[in-house]
Structure 1
Amino acid sequence: MSAIDVMTPPKLKPMPVSQPVELSPKPSLIGMTREEMGAALKEKGVADKQIKMRVSQLWNWIYVRGVSDFDAMANVSKDMREMLKTHFTIARPEIVEEQVSNDGTRKWLLRFPPRGAGRPVEIEAVYIPEEGRGTLCISSQVGCSLTCSFCHTGTQRLVRNLTAEEILSQLLLARDRLGDFPDREAPQGTVMPAEGRKVSNIVMMGMGEPLYNFESVKTALLIASDGDGLSLSKRRITLSTSGVVPEIYRTGDEIGVMLAISLHAVRDDLRDMLVPINKKYPLKELMDACRAYPGLSNARRITFEYVMLKGVNDSLEDAKGLIQLLKGIPAKINLIPFNPWPGTNYQCSDWEQIEKFADFINSAGYASPIRTPRGRDILAACGQLKSESERMRKTERLAFEAMMIANHGED
């Protein structure tokens, strides 16, 4: 079976998931900065001279030990724990569904409680185990406003931005489920890296455009990279954007993580159709922002994501245009075989054509790995995420599975 062939239809492995939680108006300490946490404690009567110590305790329990229950905080007094339980929460979101792909990829459908006068919302997060590392793909919005024509998430309307708490909670929950906190064990049969952290890398490549939710994404990623907490290296955090040019400059200055650009075309007319935000921020402006990104070097390159669409953007002329477009930018080009979804009019480029495209890019001196599709059988691959409120009906799912088998054959 070739690398772009599709797995057999979805097989859900029975996994224990969290029970529905009682919705609570209490604010969460997850996602608060140290300053915000200190102010919240002071408002509830914690003495000024204790604030710094209490924040340090809570930070360690939440982000180093990974507890989700105040009663587990052994070095915090009972009275303090009671106050915390009364006024705050550190609960995880509800797991509505957990799917496990044949290749070990995991997808979680997560439900968050209402915010203000809103309603509960659902998003998806994906864990991809690989040799030597494990990557968590995190969502930043419920739905998406960009309507990229090849992306399943783009067919779902934008509901709202996620908070810093909700962004970080995806990471905390994944580490819970994978046994990646002290004294935790992963579910039996879980596929993970043999050594080191189970979640070693995170990518802001899930549902939504991260730079249209800049402040919450910034807060979450700075907490994720905090050396006294979750302690992920900024070189292991990648933020992917479709090209919100003003916020690219801010990302480099204020967050400092690795940058990925969802490119997909080398001409403005085609990119206007594939990635409509290009009409607002055309390729020249986007490339200027990339060239100005702080700290660029051969060891710290920008990743350009390029989905391979048959007969649309996969010619050798497109490859030549890509080389010209990226001239002078330390770059890696991820070639992504198109991941089909119900109702799409696009097809994946032929494997032979993808290899020719990659060979041309490589010969020009750019690394151009072909991304191995992961989790296609559970609609967890790049461009396939979509929350439960907008997901396929059973009849649509069965039709999709039949189409995939007809096009690619069974494993």
Structure 2
Amino acid sequence: MKIAFYGSSILSSYWNGAATYYRGIVRALSGLGHEVTFLEPDAFGRQERRDIDPSAWCRVVVWQPDAQGLEMAVAHAAKADVVIKASGVGVHDDELLDRVMTAARPDALRLFWDVDAPATLHAMATGGERVLAAALPGLDAVLTYGGGPGVVADYTGAGARACLPVYNAVDLDTHHPVAPDPRFAADLAFLGNRLPDRETRVRRFFLEPAAAAPGCRMILGGAGWVQDELPQNVRAIGHVGTADHNAFNVTPRMVLNVNRDSMAERGFSPPTRIFEAAAAGACLITDHWPGIETFFEPGREILVARDGRDVLAMLGQVMPERAADIGARARARIVQDHTYDRRGREVDQILRRLSDRKARERAA
């Protein structure tokens, strides 16, 4: 199938946590014979901070966020068998959704792919996302980055014909064990941009334990953090590009995941970096969220902390040998259950089922 995929960016991970997810899904779909055109705006300085160049597995169209650029981007929808508008493109989101779905051929699949369903559903429940809410009944389905049963129920309750989670995963060709890198030597490392709906949890699960363990070395990666505001044993290193993620994940004794408030509450939404770190063989500590056992076995494949005191205890109790053992089990689980090849097959089956349903409905 020819797929027109409208998203934030597949070329740059700068302020764009969905980049790895897009790359994994699109590359897997290409391997199954689909022709994907990914359309992303030239916005937020991402084109100046590309992690990858356009590849044979995806045609990338970068459009200018003005009237002429929007018109050019929308025109691609009319050529596609599947039109996908992702959440969080960042510019002209409402107009883009309305126009690409209108431009799509009558026989084309129309899909909304939500890479932040908890935030989108909260906005809809409080009077926002009106264009999306009005469009839901006319779409063939909503796909979501995660969210579990609660997200499915809320989307179908809001009028979606179907809501189908496509969980995160990892590309083993990209994320894998590498040699440790002295730049990332630490007892605990956390990678995440400074965001309002996560900052309190980062302080609770990372900065407060760091302050209580001055003898431990801590690394904080991601944009927005200010060194002068951090405990003395925390070193802020700024944005970490995709090319350095393996070394970042494999070098510290342990790696921390902290979900945003909405994802922690909803659960069933493991972020990209959990799978990246596990694929590299990292010993992961994650804040608790519903559904974690769906993806990893707590205590054997991942460590689960309910507060900063748990993190502090793990820093004192989990020595390198046990950390390495947990990391090895996490990687084995990734290889078995959580690759993008597997997710790609799931999406391929979804597209074929929806296409068959649409053909039957048009013939009736």
TM superposition score category, shorter chain reference: 0.3 to 0.5
TM-score, normalised with respect to structure 1: 0.32
Larger-Rg structure: 1
TM-score, normalised with respect to structure 2: 0.35
Which structure's residues are more often helix, by fraction? 2
